[in-house]
Amino acid sequence: MTQRDEYFQVRAEKVERLREQGIDPFPARYRRTHTIAQALELLARWTERGRPARERSVSVTGRVTGVRNMGRVAFLDLRDGTGAMQAQLRRDLTGADFELLKSLDLGDFLGVRGRLIHTRTGEPTVEARSAAMLGKALRPPPEKWHGLQDVQQRLRQREADLIANDDVRERFVLRSKLVAAIRRFMDGRGYLEVETPILLNVAAGANARPFVTQHNALSRTLYLRIATELHLKRCIIGGLDRVYEIGRIFRNEGLDATHNPEFTSMESYEAYADYNDIMSLVETMVEGLASELLGTTTLEYGGATIDVKAPWRRLDLRTAILEHAGIDIDAHRDAASLAGRMREIGVVVTQEDSWGRLVDKLLGDKVEPHLVQPTFLVDYPVEMTPLAKRHPSKGGYVERFEGFVAGMEVCNAFTELNDPIEQRRRFEEQEALRVEHAEEDFDRLDEDFLTAVEYGMPPTGGLGVGIDRLAMLFSGQSTVREVVLFPHLSLSQDEMFRAVDAAIQEVLSRLPTLSQDAFYELVRNDLSAEVAARITKGELIRRAMQAFEDQSQAI
**Could you list the residues that contact RNA (CB under 7 A)?**
1-4, 6-7, 10, 66-73, 75, 77, 86, 88, 90-92, 105-106, 119-123, 125, 140, 142-153, 257, 348, 478-479, 489-493, 496, 534, 536, 538-539, 542
Single-letter amino acid code for the residue at 52: P
Nearer residue to RNA within complex by CB, 31 or 146? 146
- Per residue in 56-85, is it b (16+ CB within 10 Å) or e — as a string? eebbbbbbbbeeeeeeeebbbbbbbebbbb
Separation between Cα atoms, residue 42 and residue 59, nearest integer Å: 12
Nearer residue to RNA within complex by CB, 298 or 492? 492
Separation between Cα atoms, residue 206 and residue 440, nearest integer Å: 12
Residue 115 Cβ vs RNA, minimum distance, rounded to whole Å? 11
Which residues, other chains included, contact 268 with Cβ-Cβ below 8 Å and sequence gap of 6+? 186, 191, 232, 242, 243, 244, 245, 281, 462, 463
Minimal CA–CA distance to 234: which of 436, 7, 387, 448? 448
Residue 169 Cβ vs RNA, minimum distance, rounded to whole Å? 16
Residue 107, φ and ψ in degrees, nearest 5: 105, -15
Q: Quote the DSSP letter at residue 365.
A: I
Residue 508 Cβ vs RNA, minimum distance, rounded to whole Å? 17
Nearer residue to RNA within complex by CB, 62 or 461? 62
Residue 97 Cβ vs RNA, minimum distance, rounded to whole Å? 15
Nearer residue to RNA within complex by CB, 1 or 529? 1
Residue 73 Cβ vs RNA, minimum distance, rounded to whole Å? 4
Separation between Cα atoms, residue 260 and residue 489, nearest integer Å: 9
Nearer residue to RNA within complex by CB, 118 or 314? 118
Nearer residue to RNA within complex by CB, 156 or 394? 156
Q: Quote the DSSP letter at residue 309.
A: P
Judge contact between 97 and 114, C-beta under 8 A.
Answer: no
Residue 274 Cβ vs RNA, minimum distance, rounded to whole Å? 36
Nearer residue to RNA within complex by CB, 28 or 70? 70
Separation between Cα atoms, residue 108 and residue 132, nearest integer Å: 11
Residue 451 Cβ vs RNA, minimum distance, rounded to whole Å? 42
Angle CA 497–498–502, to nearest 5: 120
Residue 255 Cβ vs RNA, minimum distance, rounded to whole Å? 9
Judge contact between 62 and 79, C-beta under 8 A.
Answer: yes
Nearer residue to RNA within complex by CB, 274 or 440? 440
- The number of beta carbons lying within 10 Å of the beta carbon of residue 384 is 19
Separation between Cα atoms, residue 253 and residue 251, nearest integer Å: 6
